[in-house]
Structure 1
Amino acid sequence: MRTFTTFDEVIKAAGEEIGTSDWLEITQERVDTFAEATGDHQWIHVDVERAKEGPFGGTIAHGYLTLSLVPGLTDQVMTLETPGAKLNYGVNKVRFPSPVPVGSRVRAHVSIGEVTEIPAGYQLTMKYVVEIENADKPACVAESVVLLLS
């Protein structure tokens, strides 16, 4: 776990891969709970019997469920304890190259991209690759933007 307490530490880490989270199993219960929270009950996610005959041979996690795991997985790798508030500003790019079968495990590779000074503090670009255990392609590749207010 790496802790950043100053803006200078964050700036110096620009371009670095910070680390990799632990593996997390994707359970049907997690997928069903996400479906309830979002209202996305598409059968490829929640109908176990029908999904067995579908294109993936079983249920798969929602892409946005995979993306929503990034903050928790990142917390295993790094923490920002810089002065001021930290705000999610947006997402520059998100791709879901491979579906995540229920029962598989994922983990996140976390990198700091560009750090730019702005009038209110700093704009930080974070890069994530969410890998599926024993899969050729990642589940998710994402780039988010965080505002570190001073």
Structure 2
Amino acid sequence: MTNSPSSESTDPQTPAVVGQILTGEAFVVTREDVERFESGTWVDRAYPEGDIPEFPEDLVEGFHLLSLVDPVLQFALGDSRGGMWGLNYGLDKVRFVSQVHIGDRVVPTFETLAVEPKDGGFKVLRRCTFTVEGGERPAMVADWWGYQLPRGVVEKSRRP
């Protein structure tokens, strides 16, 4: 089942969303995006002489793609997050299956695999798949846990 952001439940972190697939808008990584990523993650400092000759100049790093999982999901969810907010809880498995090059259109999908109650919120496991438009195999597949909490829960716990 594929849902657009507007048709997903008003509380996307409930157990009822297990099995649902959300397809986000296709996106493109630009040369400027790659340069900012390399600067922000110190890749440019780690490899001051540049990459090895066999590394294609227009290849998007796997960790760059992985860093886009959270914002691309937020864009896909839009206003359907309801009264929840989330934290990164961790990754179970990440695979970089095929290459993404600067300028490729990448289609993201997010399948909810599990929702587990935790301390007044939910742990949510999503399979995040990025596929180059027209590609036969995914470029990246990541099983990613988020920890979702109702807004105001943390603030209330901090009050004396």
Q: If the TM-score is normalised by the length of the shorter chain, which range does it land in?
A: 0.7 to 0.9
- Conserved? CA contact 2:34–2:60, under 8 Å: yes
1:92-103 to structure 2, matched below 5 A, reads: 92-103=92-103
Q: Report the CA distance shift for 1:4/1:86 in structure 2 as closer, same or farther (over 3 A).
A: farther
Q: Percent identity?
A: 24
Equivalent residue for 1:10? 14
Structure 1 gap ranges (5+) = none
User: For residues 40-99 of structure 1, what are the alpha-carbon distances to aligned partners after superposition, in whole Å with 9 as ceiling and x for unaligned?
Assistant: 1377xx96xx88x6354x421111111111222222322563445422111111111112
RMSD: 2.6
The two structures have a TM-score, normalised by structure 1, of 0.79
- Conserved? CA contact 1:106–1:130, under 8 Å: yes
SS in 1 for 2:126: strand
1:1-150 to structure 2, matched below 5 A, reads: 1-2=5-6, 3-6=8-11, 10-18=14-22, 20-41=23-44, 54=54, 56=56, 58-79=57-78, 81-83=81-83, 85-150=85-150
Structure 2 gap ranges (5+) = 151-160
Aligned length: 142
The two structures have a TM-score, normalised by structure 2, of 0.75
User: For residues 105-133 of structure 1, what are the alpha-carbon distances to aligned partners after superposition, in whole Å with 9 as ceiling and x for unaligned?
Assistant: 11201111101112332111111110112
- Conserved? CA contact 2:129–2:141, under 8 Å: yes
SS in 2 for 1:76: helix
